[in-house]
A and B are shown apart, each in its own frame.
Chain A
Amino acid sequence: MAEDDARRLAGIEEALRRYYAVEAATVETDGLTVRRAMATARRRRRTVWAGIAAALVLVVVGVAVAPRLLPDRPVPATPGPAPSSASATPTPTLTGPARENWFAWRQAPDAPIDASDYRRAAAAHGVYFVGGEVSEVTGKEQCRLLPVRYVDLASDQWSELPIPEVPRGWCAADAVGHQDDLYLLVGKDVEDAVLAGAEVDLPTLQLWSYRAASGAWEQLSSPAAKTGWGNVVGLAGGFVRIGVVSDDDGNPLSAEYSWFDYATATWHEGRVSDQSPAVLRAADSFAYQDPIRVDGRSLVLFVDWTVGRPAGGAVTLTTWDPATNQRVRQTSHELSDEVMQNSQGNLEFADPGFVLVGSDSPANPSTKAMLVDLRDGTWSELEVPDRDGPISQRHPGAAAWATAYFPDDLAGHLVANGYLFNPVTQRWLWVPEPGASPPDSELESGDASVEIAPSLRCDWGHPPLPCWRLDVDPVESIAGEFSAAEIAENNRR
C-alpha cells in the first residue's frame, strides 16, 4: 500500500511536469512590450506623488477620537447558540471607524537588510533577522553568516548585533526569539545543508544564544544532527524540532524530536510518543509549524488532512506537549466539500484553545466553517457571512491583518470569511482594511514589499530598503459589530 502511494505521488509529479510543459508551450509573448512597462512606471510615479499630497492634507485636518473599549459580554463555558437580539446585553454597539483617516502610513528608517536572504525570529519587543550567503572561497563555495540585525518595533530603529565567532551558513541555520533573546541554530544538519550545486563545508549543528541584556553570544549544548528535520517551532517554554525517519521509498516510519528547554538550557530528544498515522503524516509533510495555546498551555499542533472521494474530506488535529513528550488530544472530523474547498487548508487559532477550519479571506467565501474546541475536542458547525449578501455590502471588512496588528486585543478572535468571530462571546466584528500600500512609489503596488512586522513594511531589493510604518487607531474605534441573526438573514438571500 505504501509503495503504491509513493508510486502514485511520483506519477503525479511526472504528470504535472508533462502538463505544464504542454500548456506553457502554447504561450507566446503577445502584447508584452518593454516600452509600455517603462512608460507605465513613469506614469505611476507621478500619480502616487499626488496621492501623498492628498494624504498629508488629510492627516493635518484629522481629528482624534477618544477610544472606546471593546465591551465585555457574559462568557459561556462552551460555545452555545448565538444570542438573540432580545438577550443582547446593553453594551455600546461598535459601528466601525470613527473617522475617515483611521490609518496612516509614515516613513520609517531604512532597513539595512535584503529580506529575501534572511529568516526572522520575533522577540518580545522587536524582530531579529538572521541570514547568510554562499560565496566562493578558493574555488569552493562556502556559507557565511551575515550580520544579525534587529529592529526595535517601538522606534523602528535597526541595529546590528556582534557576530558570533563562528562562520556559519543560513542554509542550515534557524532562529527563534524568546523574550528579548535570540536562539540561533547553525552548522551542518540535514540534506538541506548542501545547496544545489554547492559543496558546503560546515561544522556539525551548534546552538548559540544572544542575550539582549548583556549583548553577548553564548554557545549552548548542541542537539543531535539528523536528517529530515523541519523548521523550529517556538513555544513558551522552549523550542522543538521534529524530524521523520523514512524508508527507502520515502514513507514515514517514525517521528523524532529535539526539545530545547529554556529553563534548564538542555536538550531532550527521542521518539515522539504519538506515532499515530496522522502524526506521522503531519510530521512528514511539515504540517506542525503551528504552536497553539490551549488553556494556557503552549503546545504543538499536528494537522493531517485527508481528501475524500470524490469530495469533502477530513482533518485530524493532534496536540502534543514536547516538554513532557505526551499527546494531549487527538480529534478528527469529516468535512463537507464546501468547508474543505473553501478552507483551502486554512486554520485559525484563538485563545483559549479554539480552531476554526474555514476561509479567512473574502476572496474565498463560504457560508460554513467548522469550529473545534481543543479543550474537550468538540466540533460544531459555524454559519459565517456569505460575502455576496448585504452584510458585505454594508461592511466590506477584511480583518485578517487586524489579528496580527492587535494580537492582544483580538487574542480571542478567529478570522472567518474576512470577519472576526469570538467563540467565547459568540460575537461578530468587522474591521476595514487599511490601504494595502504605503503612499510611496517604491512600494506603490505593495506587490513586492516585505512585511517586517504587522506595523512595518519595507521594499524588497538591495539595502537600504525604504520602509513605512502603519499607524492605526485603536481597534475598539475602528471595529463594527453585527449579530448572528443578521448573518442568518444575510445568508438566506
Chain B
Amino acid sequence: MEADVEVPVAGTDADFERFVAENAVALHRFAYLIAGDREDARDAVQDALAGAYPRWSRMVGDPGAYLRRSIVNAHVSRWRRHRRETPVAQVSETVEPGAPADRVLDAMVVGDLARDLPYRQRVALVLRYYEDRSFAEIGAVLGCSEGSARSIVHRALLDLRGRTGGRDG
C-alpha cells in the first residue's frame, strides 16, 4: 500500500533550500556541541531536515527552534540505541580554586567537564552560552517550562562549579 507522496506547494522547495543554505552551519555546530561527534551531528541534522521538509509548507514561527528540538530528540534516540554515548575524557582531578591558569585553559577544562554533564544540561548550556537563547526558548527546545529550563541551566552551572573546585555545599 502506498499513498501519494505529499508534494510541498510551489516555492516551498526553494524556501527550504534557502533556509538550509543559510542555517546549515549553525545547525551543524549546534548538533556537534551537544553530540560531541561530527558524524553523529551531521546525521542528526540530516534527519531533522528530512523530518522538517514534508511539513515545511505548514510551518510557522521559527523553523530553527523546530529543527533544534528535532536534533535534540534525534540525538536522544541515537543515544538510547547505542546505550551509551561515546565516552569523553574524564577529568580525574578538580582545579584548585585560584590555581593559576590562563583563560583558554580554563575554558577547555570547563568545556570538557560540561561534556560530561547529563544530556539535558548539556543541551541547555549550549543553547544558553553558545546560542544566547532565552530561557523560554530553551524550554521550547527541551520541551519544558521556562522555569524548568532556568533550573536546568542553574543546576548545570552548580555542578560545574563543584567539579572545578568551587563551593560544593
Contact = CB atoms under 8 A, between A and B. Distances in A.
Nearest to A1: B167
A27 B148 contact: no
A376 to B, nearest CB: 24
Contacts of A53: 1
A62 to B, nearest CB: 19
A15 B83 contact: no
B110 A306 contact: no
Given A38-B16, A45-B6, A286-B150, A307 B168 contact: yes
Given A16-B114, A306-B169, A461-B58, A447 B77 contact: yes
A5 to B, nearest CB: 5
A493 interface: no
A236 B49 CA distance: 44
Contacts of B151: 230, 285-287, 289
B32 A20 contact: no
Given A8-B161, A307-B158, A15 B106 contact: yes
* Those 4 A-B pairs whose CB atoms lie nearest each other, nearest first: A306-B169, A307-B162, A19-B111, A37-B49
B9 interface: no
A362 interface: yes
Contacts, number: 246
Interface residues of B, number: 92
Interface string B1-37: 1110110000001001100110011001110110000
B168 to A, nearest CB: 5
Given A32-B24, A306-B168, A313-B168, A442 B54 contact: yes
B157 A12 contact: yes
Interface string B132-169: 00101000100101111011001101111111111111
Contact of B2 (A19, A46, A289, A309): A46
B110 A16 contact: yes
A328 interface: no
Contacts of A18: 103-104, 107
Contact of A314 (B28, B150, B169): B169
Interface in B81-107: 83-84, 92-94, 97, 103-104, 106-107
Tell me what chain B mostly uses at the interface: helix, strand, loop, or mixed: helix
A295 B81 CA distance: 39
A44 B53 CA distance: 11
Contact of A24 (B20, B32, B55, B59): B32
B85 to A, nearest CB: 9
A9 interface: yes
Contacts of A50: 1-2
A40 interface: yes
B68 to A, nearest CB: 10
Interface in A27-49: 27-34, 36-38, 40-42, 44-46, 49
A448 B64 CA distance: 12
Interface residues of A, number: 84
B1 A34 contact: no
Nearest to A304: B169
Interface of B: 1-3, 5-6, 13, 16-17, 20-21, 24-25, 28-30, 32-33, 38, 41-42, 45-55, 58-61, 65-66, 69-70, 73-74, 76-77, 79-80, 83-84, 92-94, 97, 103-104, 106-111, 114, 118-119, 121, 125-126, 129-130, 134, 136, 140, 143, 145-148, 150-151, 154-155, 157-169
A18 B150 CA distance: 21
B14 to A, nearest CB: 11
Contact of B70 (A24, A308, A445): A445
Given A12-B157, A34-B21, A447-B73, A114 B60 contact: yes
Nearest to A433: B80
B110 A447 contact: no
Interface of A: 1, 4-5, 8-9, 11-24, 27-34, 36-38, 40-42, 44-46, 49-50, 52-53, 114, 116, 119, 171, 192, 195-196, 230-231, 281, 284-287, 289, 304-310, 313-314, 344-345, 361-363, 365, 387, 436, 441-442, 444-448, 450, 459-462
B48 A447 contact: yes
A278 to B, nearest CB: 8
A110 to B, nearest CB: 12
A242 to B, nearest CB: 10
A196 B94 CA distance: 36
Nearest to A288: B151
Contact of B145 (A22, A52, A119, A462): A119
A431 B78 CA distance: 21
B111 A16 contact: yes
B148 A289 contact: yes
A309 B129 contact: no
A345 B25 contact: no
Nearest to A13: B129
Contact of A19 (B59, B110, B168): B110
Given A9-B157, A307-B159, A441-B54, A448 B69 contact: yes
